[in-house]
Structure 1
C-alpha cells in the first residue's frame, strides 16, 4: 500500500481493539486536547489580541495540515464535500475560536468551561436534525439534565442574567455543534485529519490576510506563555484534537461521542487551577461533577 493509499482511505481503528472501543479512546483523546484550549487561549491572550490570536492559530494549523496533505499527495476532495467543509471551517476553525476568545476577555476559564458543557446537547441536536437518527428517550433525558445544570450554574454565576461573555459562549456552542456534526459526517467518507485539514486550507487565504490586519491593529507582546498558548491552540487543539475527535465520531457515532465532552468542563477546571492559578467558585466543581455523571447514563442509553 502506498502512502497516498493510506492517506486517502477512511481511517481504521488499530488492530486488536473493537471499533467502538477504539473510537471511544480517540474521541476521549480529543476531549483531553480540547480541555486545554481555554487555558491555552488565556495564555495566548497575554501576547496577542483576540482577533490576531484566532487568525494566527488558524494560519499555523493550516500550514501544518497543508504540509501533511502535500507530502502525502492527498487529492482534492470531491466537489460535493466542499459545502460540508465550509460548515466545518466556519464552525470550528473560525467561529468557535473567535467567540470563545472574545468571551475569555471577561469570563474566567472555569466559568467558560462549565458553560461549554452544553456542547454535547447542541451537537446531539444538530446530529439528529442532520442525519435523521433519533437517540433514545433516556439519552435525551440525561443530556437535558446536564444542560439544566449548566444553565442553572450560568444564571447563578451571573446574578440571574446573562453577561456579554455568556452570549459569546452560547453563540460559540451553536457554531461549534454545527461544525462537529458536519465534520463527523464527513469523517465517515474521508480520514478525520483530512476533514479538518481541508477545512483549514479553505480558510487559509482569509486567515493570512486577517493575521496581517489584526497584528497591525493589535500589536503582539511576546511572552513565553503567549507563544506556548498559540502553539498549543494551533497544533494541539485545532489540528491534533480535531483529527482524533472526528475519527472517534466516525467510529461510535456523533451523539455518543458528543456526550464524552461532558467530561471536558471538569478537565478544564483542573487545568484552570493548576496552570492559571484560578480560584474556583464552590458551584463550579459541583456543576462540572453533576454533568460528568450524565456521561455514564448517555453511554449506556441505546439509540
Structure 2
C-alpha cells in the first residue's frame, strides 16, 4: 500500500514537473514568430534559418564538450536527423518564408493547430494512446484559437498559409520524435545533438549565404536574430523536451494552445498594444481545454 502511494506521488511530481518545464518552453517560444517576423524583414529567410542554426549549433557543441556527454548510439541517429529536419531546419525555414507573405498575428491560426499535430505524431511515433475525450478538448481548444484569430480580421495568403501548414507538420513531428528520444538521451542533449548533426550542412551554407555587407541591418533585426538563435533554437527546447518526456507528449503538448495568447500578452506589455476582453475570455476557455485534455491524455 505504501509502495503504491509512493509511486503515485512520484508520478504526480513527474507530471507536475513536466507541465512546469513545458510551460517555460512555451513562454520562450511565444516570442519566436514575432522575432522571426522582425528579422526576416532585413535578413534573407534561408540565411536567417541557417545562421540561427549555426549559432545555436556551436553553443550546443560547446555544452556537450563541457559536460563530456557521450555520443548518441547508432540507433539514435535517425531520430536525431528527424528532429533536426523538423525543428532545426523545417519549422524555422518554413515560417521565415511564410512570414514574408503573412503577419505574425496571422500565424496564430496555425500555432493553434500545433498541439493537435504534436499529439497525432505522439500517437504515431511515441506510442501514446489518449482517451477519446482528449481529442474532443484538443479540437475544441484549437478551434477556439483559430476562431479568435479569424475574428481579428486576418487576411489570407495561399502561399503563406501552405508554408505555415507545412511548418506546423514539421514542428509537430520534431516535437514528438524529440520527446520520445528525450526519455533515453535526455532533454537538452536531444536538441544539442540535433543541432550538432545539422552543423556540417548549415555552417557552410551560412558562410556561403552571408551578405557582403551588414551595414543596413538595424538593431531590432540583430536582437531578433539573437533571440531566435539562443532562446528559440536552444534554451526553449531544453525545457520543452524535458517537459514532454516527463509529462507525456499529448498532455504537455496541449500547453501550446496558450502560446498565441502569451505572444499577444508580450505584445501588450512590450509594445503597449491593447488586450481586449474577448482575448481574455478566449484565453480562459483555452486554459480550461488544456486542463480537460491533460486529464484524459493517458
Give the TM-score normalised by the residue count of structure 2: 0.87
Question: Structure 1, unaligned stretches of length 5 or more?
Answer: 1-14
Post-superposition offset of 1:122: 0.7
Number of aligned residue pairs: 287
Rate the CA distance shift 1:300–1:68 in 2: closer, same or farther, 3 A. same
Q: Which runs of 4+ in 1 moved over 6 A?
A: 217-220, 277-286
Question: Structure 2, unaligned stretches of length 5 or more?
Answer: 1-9
| SS in structure 2 at match of 1:111 | coil
Alignment of 1:24-173 (within 5 A): 24-152=19-147, 157=153, 163-173=158-168
Per-residue deviation, residues 101-155 of structure 1 (Å, max 9, x unmatched): 1111222222212421110011001111123321011110011112333455566
Q: Is the 8 A contact 1:85 1:198 kept in 2?
A: yes
Return 232-241 or 98-107, whichever deviates more.
98-107
Q: Give the corresponding residue for 1:211.
A: 206
CA distance in 2, matches of 1:69, 1:220: 34
Post-superposition offset of 1:205: 1.6
- Equivalent residue in structure 2 for 1:20, among 15, 22, 37: 15
CA distance in 2, matches of 1:107, 1:286: 26
Q: Is the 8 A contact 2:109 2:150 kept in 1?
A: no
CA distance in 2, matches of 1:135, 1:120: 13
CA distance in 2, matches of 1:155, 1:32: 23
CA distance in 2, matches of 1:164, 1:279: 29
Q: Report the aligned-residue RMSD.
A: 2.6
Post-superposition offset of 1:300: 2.3
Return 45-54 or 195-204, whichever deviates more.
45-54
Q: Is the 8 A contact 1:184 1:249 kept in 2?
A: yes
Q: Is the 8 A contact 2:51 2:206 kept in 1?
A: yes
Post-superposition offset of 1:218: 9.4
CA distance in 2, matches of 1:151, 1:275: 24
Q: Give the corresponding residue for 1:4.
A: none
Q: Is the 8 A contact 2:34 2:104 kept in 1?
A: yes
